[in-house]
Amino acid sequence: MKGIVFTIEAVLSLAIALIFVSYAQPALSGGYGALKLYQVAQDVAEVSVKNKQTVNELNAFLEGSLVAKKSLEEKYSRISRGLGYCVEIDLDGKKISANCFGSPSMRASAERIFFDGNRFVVLSAGVGTNYAGTKST
Amino acid sequence: MNLLEKRRGFFSNDVLVAVILVTMIFVVALYAFKTNLGALSSESRMLEKERNALSAADALVKELVAEKDGAFVKSHEIDLGKIAQARERFGKAVKSIRVNPETGGGGICVRRIALASGKEIFIEVCA
């Protein structure tokens, strides 16, 4: 029989070979997104407990002061805008959230302990990619 | 003409098609490899810059421009006067180091938060 006959197997082999050579590529892994997020979470926690004014406000917030809560919300909102990440502070179950929406695709948190005059308090600073705002300082 | 004479110098159509297909696959593979190599090289350069910016920013807030009390380094407490000096130390690996930048810097940038004179500041390192 004259002419070229392509069997299904031949066509399949050809297609697989073409797909294989098109996709066979060395790939670099990830990037440093997770590390960057972790470092920023550590920064937020560190800066929170090293700033005396913030510590005083955190203490007042723990005692139920609404003025302190408002001031902290403004402060963390400014920090969140500057960093371009959602910032969440957890203080013995009491939370402050700045520029967050939904659930993040990536999140990192860091903890610090500070003394509130009577007892030690654990501060957990979380940063996530679920940022709801425009980045500015 | 017998069968042997008839087949002398004969190049089968099947072989010809096979050769064309193999050449085609080879050309596609070569093209894909070249394209991927370009993308990989570009991605690799970006990662290198990001790593430089991350390392430099980390070194800055934790040591290079941090305030010192004798041998004790006060991490995240920044002495702004040391920034210019630290800038020279990184050479070409870092494009710019800015404090509280209003606009985004060129290249790959990493922004960290620290304290200077008791106030929060943002340090942006671009590579």
CATH code of the domain covering residue A66:
3.30.1140
CA distance A99 to A14: 52
Residue-level pLDDT at A31: 84
Name the residue with tokens 């297909």: B21
- A71 domain residue, yes or no: yes
Who among B14, B40, B115 is closest to A28 (CB)?
B40
* pLDDT at position B10 over 80: no
CB contact under 8 A, A43 and B114: yes
Interface of A with B in 78-117 (CB under 8 A): 78-79, 82-84
Say how many domains are in chain A: 1
pLDDT at residue A18, rounded to an integer: 75
- Residue in the block written with tokens 């070979």: A17
Mean pLDDT of A113-128: 92
The half-sphere exposure of B57 on its side-chain side, counting CA atoms within 13 A, is 28
Is A135 domain-assigned?
Answer: no
Return the minimum-mean-pLDDT range out of A42-46, A69-73, B19-23.
Answer: B19-23
- The single-letter code of the amino acid at B31 is Y
Owner of token pair 């920034």: B83
Report how far residue A126's alpha carbon sits from residue B36's, in angstroms, rounded to the nearest whole number: 37
**B92 confidence band (pLDDT: 50, 70, 90):** confident
Comparing CA positions, the residue from B28, B115, B97, B92 lying closest to residue A49 is B115
SS3 label, residue A76 = helix
**For the whole prediction, is pTM greater than 0.80?**
no
Q: Which residues of B touch A28 (CB under 8 A)?
A: 40, 43-44, 47
Average pLDDT (B101-109) is 83
Mean pLDDT computed over B46-65? 94
Phi, psi torsion values for A65, nearest 5 degrees? -70, 125
| Residue A13 forms part of a structural domain | no
Instruction: Identify the helix (H) or strand (E) that includes residue B76.
Output: strand B72-78
Which residue of chain B is at minimal alpha-carbon distance from A11?
A: B21
| Most confidently predicted of A102-106, A131-135, B56-60, B90-94 | B56-60
User: Quick one: what percent of chain A has pLDDT higher than 90?
Assistant: 64
- Best mutation site among B58, B67, B113 for testing chain A: the one with the most A CBs within 10 Å? B113
Structural domain boundaries in chain B: 11-126
Confidence of residue A135 (pLDDT cuts 50, 70, 90): low
Least confident of A56-60, A99-103, A133-137: A133-137
Q: Is B85 on the interface with A (CB under 8 A)?
A: no
Mean pLDDT, all residues of chain B:
87
Chain B within 8 Å of A32 (Cβ-Cβ)? yes
Among the ranges given (A85-99, A109-123, B2-16, B86-100), the one the predictor scored with the smallest mean pLDDT? B2-16
Tell me, yes or no, whether A20 lies in a domain: no
Distance CA B78, CA B88 (A): 17
Instruction: Collect all residues of chain B within an 8 Å Cβ-Cβ radius of residue A53.
Output: 118
Closest CA to A123 of A72, A71, A65: A72
Nearest chain A residue to B27 by CA distance is A21
Min CA distance, B47 vs chain A (Å)?
A: 6
Residue A97 domain boundaries: 33-128
